[in-house]
Amino acid sequence: MTHNQHLIDLLTGHLRGDLSATQQEQLNLWISQSDRNRLLFESINDEEQLKEMVLLYHQEESENNEAIILQKIRQGMGGSTGMAPVKELPVRSSWTWGWVAALVIVSAGVGGYFFLNKNGKQETAITEQQEILPGKDGAILTLADGTQVVLDSLGNGVVATQNGTQAVLNNGALAYSQEAGKTASVFNQLSTPKGRQFKLVLPDGTKVWLNAASSLRYPTVFNGNNRQVEVTGEVFFEVAQNHRQPFYVNVNNQAQIRVLGTQFNVNAYSNETIIKTTLVDGGIQVRPGADFDSSSFVTVKPGQQAEIKPAGNKTSLQPVRIINNANIDKAIAWKNGLFNFEDATLEEVMRQVERWYDIEVVYEQGIPNIEFGGRMSNDMSLSGLLKSLIESEVHFRVEGRKLIVMP
């Protein structure tokens, strides 16, 4: 029996709930071998329809080459197996098919992903491209005097001392420690270029994760009656509770967030049409505009997303729109090392690709009207990602660090 078939047997047995103790040990070992294996396992754990699809690949024991595997996937989509074509399945099922294919291809040792758009179309038109690597940890720290420190290549230790406060790098995260009796505060800024992410612990213990092409401006000591920071791009906050000192976030001078202690994600890239604040836990209040002292805050509850349309001036500010039952997993996928393209247009996907791979995306003949669904690890090369985005209505060409989308 091939390794491919054995893995499918283990996963099928798990979905049926009839694994022996030995088989369970083997499955646990495979899950522990990589984050990709773990994520794949978690994505299929509770999908009843996926169970039926995985069983389609239980019939042959000798097929472990890519061509035959892909042929089986196409047969499953085309209805010859007795199942409905992908285009007739509910929206959520579109990414389920992608994970079935990922399961078969990864387990066969091919080492790639297969992805479907919502129409269920695919082809193998993308040729091997030059390797453009995915993003990684890294940032630029700008001190109060304008000095910039590139954190990508520094080891653990003190990177700067300002007015008795030390900025310390420890295992890929920046934190601050203050000498006793020193209370003077200055402002620092942490910026992530395209292709970089970074974690920061603010002086009050608040944890902050910066996505690619983002920035956070903050004081080295929080004095006064509140804590104020400024963000651009995309940032995830885990705010330390302090009821006597409320926490405020200025978002691009276009929106304000007031919070006591909570976890939330802010997506405010300048090339996105909406500022989105997604609340994971706790409670926040959101308002449009640059002022902190206004009473026109709108309360956001866990699981909700507040949307604000950016405006060029105060007189044209748009009201806050609250989205119930927001897709939390999609909002914070980047923090967990994932792409989540559920209900995403091609243009939205390409904006994420631009930021993470530090490339330029150009459309040769307009932007194709395509929507995707699916999740995958963001640790693959650009060529690996492009292979996973194969579909019949669009092709890609790479020239240097420019990705050209063709009709």
Q: What is the DSSP string of 19-56?
A: --HHHHHHHHHHHHT-HHHHHHHHHHTT-HHHHHHHHH
Q: Could you read off the pLDDT of 362-378 as tens digits, one per residue?
A: 998 888 888 887 888 89
pLDDT at 319 over 80: yes
Q: Could you read off the pLDDT of 43-70 as tens digits, one per residue?
A: 665 445 444 444 444 443 334 444 444 4
Which fold, 136-331?
A: Jelly Rolls (2.60.120)
Residue 264 and residue 278 in contact, taking contact as beta carbons nearer than 8 Å:
yes
Task: Quote the pLDDT of residue 312.
Answer: 57
The C-alpha atoms of residue 363 and residue 346 are separated, in whole angstroms, by 11
Segment 112-135 mean pLDDT: 52
Cα 224 → chain centroid = 35
Confidence of residue 3 (pLDDT cuts 50, 70, 90): low
pLDDT at 238 over 90: yes
Mean residue pLDDT across the chain? 77
Task: Quote the pLDDT of residue 22.
Answer: 78
Task: Quote the pLDDT of residue 191.
Answer: 98
Confidence of residue 361 (pLDDT cuts 50, 70, 90): very high
pLDDT at 231 over 70: yes
Segment 73-89 mean pLDDT: 35
Confidence of residue 318 (pLDDT cuts 50, 70, 90): confident
Residue 371 and residue 118 in contact, taking contact as beta carbons nearer than 8 Å:
yes
Beta-sheet pairing, 165-170 with 157-162 = antiparallel
pLDDT at 244 over 80: yes
| pTM of structure | 0.71
Confidence of residue 190 (pLDDT cuts 50, 70, 90): very high
Where in the sequence of the chain do the CATH 2.60.120.1440 domains occur? 136-331
Residue 390 and residue 123 in contact, taking contact as beta carbons nearer than 8 Å:
yes
Q: Residue 303: what are its φ and ψ, rounded to 5°?
A: 90, -5
Residue 77, helix vs strand vs coil: helix
The β-bridge partners of 162 are 165
Higher pLDDT, 384 or 112: 384
Q: What percent of the chain is predicted at pLDDT more than 90?
A: 44
Where in the sequence of the chain do the CATH 3.55.50.30 domains occur? 337-406
Residue 177 in tokens: 């420690």
**Domain 337-406, CATH among 3.90.79.10, 3.55.50.30, 3.10.129.10, 3.40.1710.10:** 3.55.50.30
Q: Could you read off the pLDDT of 113-124 as tens digits, one per residue?
A: 333 344 444 333
Higher pLDDT, 15 or 303: 303
Helix (H) and strand (E) counts in the chain: 9, 26
Residue 192 and residue 214 in contact, taking contact as beta carbons nearer than 8 Å:
yes
Segment 332-347 mean pLDDT: 92
Closest by Cα among 190, 188, 231, 233 to 211: 233
